[in-house]
Chain A
């Protein structure tokens, strides 16, 4: 069954700690995205990648980092520089360039200990 898998479902971060959220897709999509969802604010784009070994900052990239070493994987690291990391994080993918619809995973909820 094709889809996007995000793990873990819940994650807790201590002060000063970096944490990494996993995103894997088997849809053979070229493009992948990371969003942050906060109540009343909709989805905000953190980073996106159109092809392997290339990625661009979105609207709220500060305090986050990504890598795209494989087509199917796009992990997101929430660094200690991100002062308000508590949110629901969503990973998505789409086919190639152009305005193809994005398909989402089921998210990771990150909280501060």
Chain B
């Protein structure tokens, strides 16, 4: 079983919809959680960074962490065609070492007109 599980999609939604992207994990040592957006033939771009449980909002994006359920989510409101990309979740453990992260395999999102 992988440490981080992410549905590969593709997920297709109409423009303006609310998108929910999710990852589950098995290692309770993860404390730091990130979401990256990756366009085709480009590097991942950091969208959200959160520590421990709770919510964080940035514009149309909300990141949610539920450590008790080992479940994280990214919500995208008023989705746009420019949101079409692959979304990767990433997780890290305690401080004191290099920032080694464990990545999900990514969910491909398609926002249609």
Total interface residues on A, CB under 8 Å, equals 29
With A40-B8, A40-B105 known as contacts, the answer to whether A100 contacts B41 (CB < 8 A) is no
B interface residue count range (under 10 / 10 to 19 / 20 to 34 / 35 or more)? 20 to 34
11 contacts between A and B (CB under 8 A): A33-B98, A42-B105, A42-B106, A97-B96, A98-B95, A98-B96, A99-B92, A101-B34, A102-B46, A104-B36, A106-B42
Number of A-B pairs, beta carbon distance below 8 Å: 69
Extra contacts, 14 of them, besides A49-B98, A101-B46 (Cβ < 8 A), are: A40-B105, A42-B105, A48-B100, A50-B98, A94-B99, A97-B96, A97-B99, A99-B93, A99-B95, A101-B49, A102-B46, A102-B99, A103-B46, A104-B36
A45 to chain B: which residues have CB within 8 Å? 100
